[in-house]
Chain A
Amino acid sequence: MVATFLSNWSLASRQPIDKWSASTVVLCCFLLGPVAALLLTAFGDSGGLWTHLVDTVLGTYVVNTLALMGGVGVVAVLFGVSAAWVISRYDFTGRNILEWMLLLPAAIPAYIIGYCYTDFFEYAGPLQTALRTAFGWQTPRDYYFPEIRSLGGAMLVMASVLYPYIYMVTRIAFRLTPASLFEIALVHNKSQFWHVGLPLARPAIVAGLALVMMEVVSDFGTVEYFAVPTITLGIFNVWLGMNNLVAAAQISSVGFLFILGLLGLELYARSRQQYVSTSRTQNSPAALPTTPVGKLVCWLVCLVPLLFGFFIPLGVLLRFVLRGDLAADFLAIQPIVTNSVMVAIAAAIVIMLIASLIVLTAAFRAGPKLRKLALMSSTGYAFPGTILAIGVLIYAGYIDHGLRFLSGGMISSFLIASMGLLLLAYVVRFQAVGYGAMLSGVRRLPKNLMSASRVLGHGYVASLRQVILPLLKSSFLAGLMLVFVDIMKELPMTLLLRPFDFETLATYTYQFAKDEMLEQAALPALMIVLTGLIPVILMSAMLRRYR
């Protein structure tokens, strides 16, 4: 079947098959398996449930989801792009530290920050208690305080931990924008940000934003805790409340197609634009000096996202951790820390290698069709984790069944009930993160670089190794770091697909957090954050070398 597909593919695109594109096509199709399994499930009979949904809750789900996407998108872009701009363009005290600190919120899982914020902002929390003491208020009826468990609260909380996706890639884009272009803006008395920086960083910003949007659409933990009825909440109500997995798969698929549509729109919108820089990357612009007021603005721009995304949640976690018996608690979770780190490192490396292969082949070896397939293969991110995990299960079931048949029963289970299942799920979901990082790196390379190298007599592999790959090191590391941190935090798929007696920090935290036992959940949650910090710091140091 694959062979037929391949030959059709090549006929259609009139491109000779080489082993690079062939292996990429096979790999992409393999990764699309779980998504296909879900789409197939969606073709089942949902028993007329849609009429009921349209009549009752679907409108609310859609409106809330769109509002959440819009709100998180705006705030995350605001945080991410402004911070990336001041960090890469201005010279101010503390810039070197803030540059990597701004990545820290990425290490905090959205479901944990939800608990932390509720604890901090709610009636019995430290903020309102302090306000009551200060102003002598007695009951909640004496004053107005915004409800944190609301749509607005969810927007703030999610944007605060998701903006690093945008910050990370945008900062690299700003840095790699040739100085000469900024000089042109200066000469013409135009804004360097609006007329040069922003338009040229658009692919990077969109790549980051796409991840943020997919994260928002697929989030379950935060919206459930904040009681914001989004599509994802609806999916679970239909699946678990009405025992209708088919309808749940249908709603997920609609959300998935919606994201695909958005991506398509953006690709179309910039299809006639070229993002090619011919100057050497070393020629990046010098940082601008700042006035004292300017310094203050720079600090504010960097510290506000950090405050919301890192310091407040960290403070809440620390408050709980310091109440307990630190040494004993830590000893208890030490093996779990090892589990988490091992899984995350192994999976992150595999994912980045796969993403690199796909991106490089799509960019340098293949036509537009394969490029589209490559993009498609990273869309698993748009499904809620648990739903994607079910896609992975169905798919792995087929594979194992096939293997059992082919091997005449010799292999009874290959993927099922092994670590391979979890790894497959991670790859399918987080390939998007690696893909985004590598793609924005490749996009910044001059198109003629590869051609030049080939014309000068190097083969494809040699060109890759000697010319392209060294230039993509920073993108690779950036992707590796994001994927590592993402897997450290990942909850729903790990929970469902893990082997027996296997705990990661995320699953261990969850069994307490689920019952709002924050005291017990705080230490493992803090460990997720701390283990996330190590690669952030390490790789930022490495990234600085590749500036």
Chain B
Amino acid sequence: MRVTGIENGFRNRLRNSFANSPVILRWLMAGCVAVCLWLPVQAFAGGTINIYSHRQQILIQPFLDEFTKATGIQTKVVYASKGLAQRLQAEGAASPADVILTVDIARLAEYANLDLLASVESAVLTANIPAHLRASDNRWFGLSERARIVVTARDRVPADAIQRIEDLADAEWQQRICTRPGSHVYNRALMASLIAAHGAEAAQSWAEKLVANLARKPQGNDRAQAKAIFQGICDVAIMNSYYYGNMKFNDDAEQRSWADAIRLVFTNQADRGNHINISGGGVAKHSRNKQQAVAFLEFLTGEVAQQLYGTVNYEYPVNPAVAPPAELASWGPFKRDKLPIERLAELAPQAQMIIDRVGW
């Protein structure tokens, strides 16, 4: 009797508490169900490839449109500047990603180091891309070249005053140089190229002198350095060449005047050539659409897309058979540093340490 009483009491209490139901819990459950119903379903259809891109969607959309036009294969994109490699890693075999696109060698190497890329056998890719711009194990491929050059004030610096990147360490440029922060990926790669050319010790001494020559604390992006030259804050800056094209043909008259104020200097033409970086790509290890993914990379190294790199963002084609568009050609032919591009990624940690030490 007593036991039943307790049981009944317990049951009643239980029932009451559910009937009275915690308002919050009820709402919470309803909310969760609503959100789950709204989950978008990921497309795995054969005619679609999914792209993880470190390049902004606005800059790759023209390529995607051309690709879809040529092959009928649809594309979907997630763009993020950092962390996509960790996302791909966490997703593992369940990942929906097919293709990875990056804007520098360091990120590309990160994917390779985490073993997230598939080895691709493609005669087209091997033929279209010079050996020093792709991985020896065919896991990643350079798709466009980006030259990191020196720019000088047209009205204040004579045309041949700077010949080599090493010249920026000369005392002549004290208080006259502007750059973005040293730990930016472009400067880190440049630093790595100097380590490759001269060894760590000489590279560090170059960096120390460069920092001593800076006109202001490193800040802004490359475009901001051209602006600083225009404003007379400094006379010399380090910049990726495509920024020049972007400013020269900008809708904004202000930016066009920044481009007018600077002169492009391709460095080290008498020795190893100008330092270059690549934008590149690879096929995700667990891609379910490998064939289409490879087709996409092949398309990016073909005539149409290689031209587009030049016209959309003023980057140089990697494919030696494709001539750069007229505008790029007008900046003059130049000798490129033929250092195997993966060396830049290998030396990046060492470069960052030097940058930390000299406070660039």
Q: Do A and B bind each other?
A: yes
Judge whether A226 is part of the interface by a CB distance below 8 angstroms: yes
Partner of A459, one of B16, B38, B82, B84: B16
Chain B interface: which size bin?
A: 35 or more
Residues of B within 8 A of A233 (CB): 183
CB-CB nearest in chain B for A355: B24
A363 → B minimal CB distance (Å): 13
- The answer to whether B56 and A514 touch across the interface, beta carbons within 8 angstroms, is yes
Q: Are A512 and B58 in contact (CB under 8 A)?
A: yes
- Residues of B within 8 Å of A519, CB to CB, are 251-252
Give the interface segment out of A87-95, A429-437, A496-504.
Answer: A496-504
Complex: chain A residue closest to B231, CB-CB: A123
Q: Which size bracket describes the interface of A in this complex?
A: 35 or more
B224 on the interface (CB 8 Å rule)? yes
Pick from B31, B42, B80, B359: contact of A499, CB under 8 Å: B42
Residues of A within 8 A of B90 (CB): 393-394, 396-397, 416
A213 proximal to B (CB < 8 A): no
Say whether B218 faces chain A, with CB atoms less than 8 Å apart: yes
Q: Given A400-B94, A516-B221, are A511 and B58 neighbors across the interface (CB < 8 Å)? A: yes
Most chain-A Cβ atoms within 10 A of its Cβ — which of B57, B107, B188, B349?
B349
Which B residues touch A241, using CB under 8 A? 106, 183, 185, 188, 348-349, 351-352, 355
Report the stretch among B71-79, B158-166, B276-284 that lies at the interface.
Answer: B71-79
B25 and A240: CB pair below 8 A? Answer: no
Q: Which residues of B contact A461 (CB under 8 A)?
A: 17, 20-23
Residues of A within 8 A of B20 (CB): 459, 461-462
| Residues of chain B contacted by A423 (CB below 8 angstroms) | 35
Nearest-CB residue, chain B, relative to A500? B76
CB of B57, distance to nearest CB on chain A (Å): 6
Q: Is the CB of B91 within 8 A of A357?
A: no
Within 8 A of B (CB), among A61-88: none
In the complex the two chains form, is B188's CB within 8 Å of A496's CB?
no
Number of A-B contacts (CB under 8 A): 191
Note all chain A residues with C-beta closer than 8 A to B252. Answer: 519
Binding site for B on A (CB under 8 A): 19-20, 23, 52-53, 55-57, 60, 123-124, 139-141, 147, 149-150, 225-227, 233, 236-237, 239-245, 342, 346, 349-350, 353-354, 356-357, 360, 386, 389-390, 393-394, 396-397, 400-401, 404, 412-413, 416-420, 423, 459, 461-462, 464-465, 469, 495-503, 507, 511-512, 514-516, 519
Q: A150-B217, A357-B22, A498-B78 are in contact. List 12 more A-B contacts (CB 8 A).
A: A140-B232, A233-B183, A237-B352, A240-B106, A346-B34, A346-B35, A350-B35, A357-B25, A416-B91, A419-B35, A500-B77, A502-B78
27 contacts across the A-B interface (CB closer than 8 A): A23-B25, A52-B353, A55-B357, A123-B233, A124-B227, A139-B232, A149-B220, A150-B217, A227-B220, A233-B183, A241-B351, A350-B28, A357-B25, A397-B91, A412-B94, A416-B90, A416-B94, A417-B95, A420-B36, A461-B21, A500-B78, A501-B76, A512-B58, A515-B56, A516-B220, A516-B221, A516-B223
